[in-house]
Amino acid sequence: MIEQYKLQIKKLMSEKRFVHSVSVAREAVKLAKIYGVDSNKAEISGLLHDVTKDMSKDDQLQIVRCFGIIMTDIEFRSAKLWHAITAPVYLEKIFGIKDRDILNAVRYHTTGRACMSKLEKIIFVADSISEDRKYSGVEKLRKKAYVSLEEAMLIGINFTLNELTNKKYLIAPDTIFAYNEIMMKFI
Ligand code: DGI
Ligand code: FE
Ligand code: FE
């Protein structure tokens, strides 16, 4: 099945995005083994999490219209969030994926949300520490991820919030909910 999915997504994205997807899948399996999560689900979610990311804006909006997706104003005005919204619907309708946890892991891989499942957290973190990521500090974040998924999430969210406020982008409420929920355990 994984090999079949690889062939399917290859046609939908750039080589770079494909390499990223395979890297996230591999990282997700690693984290799944550490944190006692089904590694098959982790591999599938990681491989497919960015399935609609390289589609044009028009194609993404076509998915939104065809499948009756309703976006909030904030979502509509944050084009970077579109792929996380369209991907789970595309995976359910076109790839025939039914597993709710996999679909949710894809849906919340960009923003996070409150009360994430372990699989959702794994995909969120795997996306930011996969082998193809090269930013400064990634090595430190990787080490953190292998001892605490939630502390790694906080670092990731902190990075995103800085980036978003610096660029004057809107912030999805789910990101704030994820931050508060985890932070409450640490203060
Ligand atoms: O798809 P990837 O590049 O692998 O990674 P991703 O799905 O985490 O997307 C990262 C981008 O999404 C990054 O440029 C910042 C943006 N992003 C993340 N959270 C938010 C957001 N954009 C807005 N407007 N609001 C958010 O809350
Ligand atoms: Fe993404
Ligand atoms: Fe990604």
Per-residue pLDDT, 33: 98
Distance from residue 147's CA to the centre of ligand 2 (Å): 24
Structure tokens, 47: 């491989």
- Residue 170 near ligand 1, beta carbon < 6 Å: yes
Q: What is the mean pLDDT of the chain?
A: 98
> How far is residue 174's CA from residue 187's CA, in Å, rounded to a whole number?
20
Q: What is the mean pLDDT of residues 117-128?
A: 98
Nearest ligand 1 atom, CA 172: 27
Q: Considering the entire predicted model, what is its pTM?
A: 0.96
User: What residues are neighbours of ligand 3 (ion), with CB under 5 Å?
Assistant: 50, 127
Per-residue pLDDT, 62: 97
Q: Band of the pLDDT at 13, cuts 50, 70, 90?
A: very high
Domains in the chain, ordered, with CATH? 2-51+100-186 (1.10.3210.10)
Q: What is the mean pLDDT of residues 7-26?
A: 98
Nearest ligand 1 atom, CA 74: 24
